[in-house]
Amino acid sequence: MEASVNFTQSAKIRSLVFTSLGHFTNDFNILLFSILITYYHSDFGISLAVLGAVAIIYSIISGLLSTPIGRYADKTRRYRFLLLSGFLILGISVYLFALSFVSASLALPVMIVASILFGFGQAFYHPLGSSVLNLTYGNSSASALGINGAFGSIGRSALPVILVPLIILVGEKYALIVLGSYMIIAGVIIYSGLSFIREHEIPASSRSASSSRNRDTLSRYSSVLAIIVAMVFIRSMFLTGTTTYISQFVLDRVRSETMMSIILTISFLTAVAGQPYFGRLTQKHGGKFTIGLTTGLSTLFFIFFMFAGTDPVLNTITYALYVFTAFSGFPVLMGYVNQIVPREISTTAGGMVWGIGNTVGGGIGIAIISILLYVHTTLIDAMWIMTIFGAVSLILFPLIPNKRSAARMKASTS
């Protein structure tokens, strides 16, 4: 096992600043396709079921790629190169989304290609950003992850209120060109800003031995990681399945694109406070406690939201409470992973929990709600059905290790 690396306070702050920019930029895209669904549906008449199927493509690709990207990152620690690659791919995919709005004949095929690249690009940030902070902050990474996650929430909240007015002003194509350009510029800035971690990359001559050690260590954690991944998988089916169609759902209720964007922006801004708060809870009480708390409360608040009717104020309050508790996954899940596993496999384990559990689970959730819509289930009934998965995920909660058990597991491999 590698000895702990001590970083200066300046280096820690730099890692937090530039990974936070990365999280803002990455999560600025989270609601992108959810917003674009309303335009593909209204401009080109593409059915919600087909659009849901396209959303499944990028979710599954993103989730499946996170683990191999994590393995490569643990073997090489080329975090900067991988982060830059992810943002370059995201920028190109957004350019292709812009191209899809040129004509009706291009819309669907180009949108599918863009979604494939979008999935590739989305696979990079979360396990990599978590590992950079785990490298620099060590045992106090959960609180840093909370602050970092808050910037992701700001990015997620900013998209509706920026993109929708920009589309109204210049049209879908040019608005998306602006967004794609920002992705690429941000990637270059992050690559430069994290230059100080280059010295911690593993030389090519040592990578084979590093990979072998990591495989042995990972095998000792396979059973506990499988339980965590399963719980996160089911939870994400609920969260991502409903979020994919939330723009259309709220629009159907309030009958105003502007009001819809305001409701979603205000709601997703609550996660700016939620992520640091639940990150601190994770560090203080352990990931198990916080996972149970956020999963239970988010399911309850979503039920309240479903009863909000057409009142914009009630929709905002109830959905904001849901977002506050539900969109805390980054500091809670990644902080929990860092509490359990050694640093040498943290990116791989993070890729499994975030990629397979959170992202692939989300893709399956999108598939289920899309199938429900395809067989002519109403959107409101489909939302109710997806809520069941949030409650079901709590069944696995007693099986994941608490803070003390996690510390013993981690110490046993040292």
Q: 330 vs 323, which has greater pLDDT?
A: 323
Residue 1 is predicted with a pLDDT of 41
Q: Identify the burial level of 112 via C-beta atoms within 10 angstroms of its C-beta, where 0-12 means exposed, 13-18 middle and 19 or more buried.
A: middle
Please count the CA atoms within 13 angstroms of the CA of 378 that sit on its side-chain side. 4
- If you average pLDDT over residues 303-330, what whole number do you get? 92
- 20-29, 165-174, 263-272: which has the minimum mean pLDDT? 263-272
Tokens of 121: 């690009």
The residues, any chain, with a CB within 8 Å of residue 231's CB and separated by 6 or more, are 291, 357, 393, 396, 397, 399, 400
What are the structural domains of the chain?
9-198+214-412 (1.20.1250.20)
Cα 357–Cα 142–Cα 300 angle in degrees, nearest 5: 55
Percent of the chain beyond pLDDT 70?
A: 93
**Residue 175: which pLDDT band, with cuts at 50, 70 and 90?**
very high
- What confidence tens digit (pLDDT) does each residue in 250-280 have? 999 998 888 988 898 889 888 888 888 988 8
- If you average pLDDT over residues 46-61, what whole number do you get? 82
206: DSSP letter: G
| pLDDT at residue 20 greater than cutoff 90 | yes
Cα 306–Cα 311–Cα 312 angle in degrees, nearest 5: 100
Residue 403 is predicted with a pLDDT of 67
Q: How far is CA 83 from CA 192, 340, 346, 350, 351, in A?
A: 11, 24, 16, 15, 14
- The whole-angstrom separation of Cα 84 and Cα 88 is 6
- 73-77, 89-93, 177-181, 342-346: which has the minimum mean pLDDT? 342-346
Is the model's pTM score more than 0.85?
no
